[in-house]
Chains A and B, each alone.
Chain A
Amino acid sequence: MLKIQPAELKVIAQYIHDISGIYLDQSKSYLFETRLSSIAEEHGCNSYQELYQKARKDAGKKIERQIIDAISTNETLFFRDNGPFELLKHKLLPEMIDLRTPNSPRLKTNIKIWSAASSTGQELYSVAMVIKDLVGNQMDQFNFKLLGTDISDSAVKQASYGKYNKFEIERGLPRQTLQKYFTLFGDSWKVKDELRAMVNFRKLNLMLPFAGLGKFDIILCRNVAIYFTLADRKKLFNKLADSLTDDGFLLIGSTESLTGICPRFVPKRHLRAIFYQKKN
């Protein structure tokens, strides 16, 4: 494996931060080596400095995309940490449905949900499954818009395609749910079209402005800010507050905290989970 030189660490760490917002601890050189050495080799580079220069000059940004794919962590599961999904099912979605149901029965209930770091899609599909189970055969009275965004091209591609191998599927997904929402596809499982039709995935770097996406009623931004610096985390949650409707709900990772990060949000506890709302 190509060794990273101490002098290269700062340059590469800064570059990764610039393109992705991800902050890699420079004292952990193995993090850089295990994730980037094969890309360096593929492009015939003898050093990480050379890889950096090639990536900067690469007009098609192929190397940049490869680096982002390698650096971003795609550890995710269907119904990862059940708490937030129970919370959605029993509190947040029913409350939001009440809030958004129009007086006229002829009008549909519009609800927008955003999974801000959707990785390979499991989180957003889990939300879609919760919605389906909750709403049942009254789906035509609703207009749910479910958006998933991620910085990694390959993650977005897999999410859109909705195909998962048996290792990705096994944990977290009860057999009954699997059979209801997936079809066997060779040795893998594919999300059924009725669920895929509810969601949309696209590439987004959370470090860049995203006001153009509009406002959302529920935002999930779980286990992504942990890879950012404190300053970047503050900026991110401030922007998320702008993107959340005044009565909307924010969900973050179960081991994350917004104390000292964004005073615009207040935590609220329900059952064994926490969600955030904007301060009045």
Chain B
Amino acid sequence: MNNLTILVIDDDPVIRRLLEQRLLKEKYKVLLAEDGYVGNETLANNHVDVVLTDLMMPGDIGGIEVLEFAKGLERNIEVILITAHSSINTAVEAMKKGASDYLEKPINFTELFLRLEKISTMRGLVRNAEDLRQAMDVTEGTAAETIQNLEITAASLQSHIDSIENIANNHEIDFDERVALILKDIQSIH
């Protein structure tokens, strides 16, 4: 089982079907949408890792609008655009807006699976890093509490030592009284 959920958005039913079959064969979870409207609706209501969308689609919502919607929704969604050779410049513009990649038609599946694998590996690494950071946060939090308690205790003991030193060196008070004061100070530590 591949753990990525992929949303395919394309107005061409043949391409949709083809992508669905190939992705399912590679054990990806697949969602389908026939245009940008349905695509955005699916995005809003489902967990999606990768959007594979046609750049040019009928209606007001093309690939770029899907990209913007997806990025606004969840910063972690990766968007791959499918484009005809003639619209490569638009696809490059889309990369600047945060698209992960673009694929030229006809789709080279080896290339597509390589990109998806890369995304999957990257997500795994990010998750590992997050786990490590979380573990670090817990360790750091526990250590911080201990260290801060020790820091405050050490400072309080230091102030007692200073006060005892002052009493001991205060020759205006007679010896017995100094001893009594020092003992009193020591008792107050407990």
Interface residues of A (CB under 8 A from B): 81, 83, 166-167, 170-171, 184, 186-187, 254-259, 263, 266-267, 269, 273-274
Residue B150 CB within 8 A of the other chain: yes
Closest to B148 in A: A274
Q: What would be 13 A-B contacts, judged by CB atoms less than 8 Å apart? A: A83-B144, A186-B96, A186-B97, A187-B97, A254-B147, A255-B140, A255-B147, A257-B151, A259-B151, A259-B154, A263-B158, A267-B152, A267-B155
Residue with the highest number of chain A CB atoms closer than 10 Å, among B96, B97, B147: B147
Docked complex Cα distance between A187 and B75 (Å): 9
Docked complex Cα distance between A273 and B144 (Å): 9
Among B62-83, those with CB < 8 Å from A are 71, 75-76
Q: A166, B151: Cβ atoms under 8 Å?
A: no
Closest to B98 in A: A187
Q: A266, B98: Cβ atoms under 8 Å?
A: no
Q: A269, B148: Cβ atoms under 8 Å?
A: yes
Closest to B72 in A: A184
Q: A63 to chain B: closest CB distance in Å?
A: 29
Q: B152, A269: Cβ atoms under 8 Å?
A: yes
Interface residues of B (CB under 8 A from A): 71, 75-76, 96-98, 126, 130, 133, 140-141, 143-144, 147-148, 150-152, 154-155, 158
Docked complex Cα distance between A139 and B147 (Å): 37
Chain A residues within an 8 Å CB radius of B96: 186
Chain B residues within an 8 Å CB radius of A255: 140, 143-144, 147
Closest to B126 in A: A167
Q: A166, B75: Cβ atoms under 8 Å?
A: yes
Q: A266, B140: Cβ atoms under 8 Å?
A: no
Q: A256, B126: Cβ atoms under 8 Å?
A: no
Docked complex Cα distance between A170 and B74 (Å): 11
Q: A180 to chain B: closest CB distance in Å?
A: 16
Chain B residues within an 8 Å CB radius of A266: 155
Q: B148 to chain A: closest CB distance in Å?
A: 5
Docked complex Cα distance between A269 and B153 (Å): 11
**What total count of A-B pairs have CB within 8 Å?**
47
**Known pairs A166-B75, A167-B126, A186-B98; A257 contacts B147 (CB<8 A):** yes
Q: B155, A254: Cβ atoms under 8 Å?
A: no
Docked complex Cα distance between A263 and B159 (Å): 11
Q: Out of A81, A186, A259, A273, name the residue touching B150 (CB < 8 Å).
A: A259
Docked complex Cα distance between A255 and B147 (Å): 6
Q: Out of A186, A263, A274, name the residue touching B152 (CB < 8 Å).
A: A274
**Known pairs A167-B126, A259-B151, A274-B151; A254 contacts B140 (CB<8 A):** yes
Q: A6 to chain B: closest CB distance in Å?
A: 30
Chain B residues within an 8 Å CB radius of A186: 96-98
Q: A265 to chain B: closest CB distance in Å?
A: 9
Closest to B96 in A: A186
Chain A residues within an 8 Å CB radius of B147: 254-257
Closest to A269 in B: B152
**Known pairs A257-B150, A258-B151, A274-B151; A171 contacts B133 (CB<8 A):** yes
Closest to B134 in A: A171
Chain B residues within an 8 Å CB radius of A170: 75
Docked complex Cα distance between A224 and B75 (Å): 31
Chain A residues within an 8 Å CB radius of B76: 166
Docked complex Cα distance between A255 and B150 (Å): 11
Q: B151, A81: Cβ atoms under 8 Å?
A: no
With A83-B144, A259-B150, A259-B151 already in contact, 16 other A-B pairs whose C-beta atoms are closer than 8 Å: A166-B75, A166-B76, A167-B126, A170-B75, A171-B130, A187-B97, A254-B141, A254-B144, A255-B143, A255-B147, A257-B150, A257-B151, A267-B148, A269-B152, A273-B148, A274-B148
Q: A241 to chain B: closest CB distance in Å?
A: 15
**Known pairs A81-B140, A166-B75, A167-B126; A259 contacts B155 (CB<8 A):** yes
Docked complex Cα distance between A166 and B154 (Å): 42
Docked complex Cα distance between A186 and B147 (Å): 42
Closest to B99 in A: A187
Closest to B97 in A: A186
Chain A residues within an 8 Å CB radius of B126: 167
Chain A residues within an 8 Å CB radius of B97: 186-187
